[in-house]
Amino acid sequence: YRINKKINFKNYKYLPIYFAVSLIFIGFVYVIVPIFYSYDKLKLQKNICKNYKIECLIKGKVNYNFYPTPRIKIKDLIIYDLSKKKNILASAENVAIKLSVINLLNKYKQNFKKIELGNFEINIDVKSLKKYKNVFAKKINSIPTTFTKGKIIFFEEKKYVATIDDANLNFTLEEDTKES
pLDDT bucket at 9, cuts 50 / 70 / 90: low
Beta-sheet pairing, 178-179 with 71-80: unpaired
Q: Does 14 have pLDDT greater than 80?
A: yes
Check residues 133 and 14 and name the one with the higher pLDDT.
Answer: 14
**What is the reported pLDDT for 172?**
74
pTM: 0.76
Share of residues in the chain with pLDDT > 90 (%): 18
**SS3 sequence of the chain:** CHHHHHCCHHHHCCHHHHHHHHHHHHHHHHHHHHHHCCCCHHHHHHHHHCCCCCCEEECCCEEEECCCCCEEEEEEEEEECCCCCCCEEEEEEEEEEEECCCCCCCCCCCCEEEEEEEEEEEEEEHHHHHHHHHHHHCCCCCCCEEEEEEEEEEEECCEEEEEEEEEEEEEEECCCCEEC
Q: Of 42-46, 48-52, 53-57, 135-139, which gets the smallest average pLDDT?
A: 135-139
**What is the reported pLDDT for 127?**
82
Q: Does 68 have pLDDT greater than 70?
A: yes
**What is the reported pLDDT for 93?**
92
* Mean predicted lDDT score pLDDT of the chain: 81
Q: What is the mean pLDDT of residues 5-16?
A: 73
Q: What is the mean pLDDT of residues 44-54?
A: 74
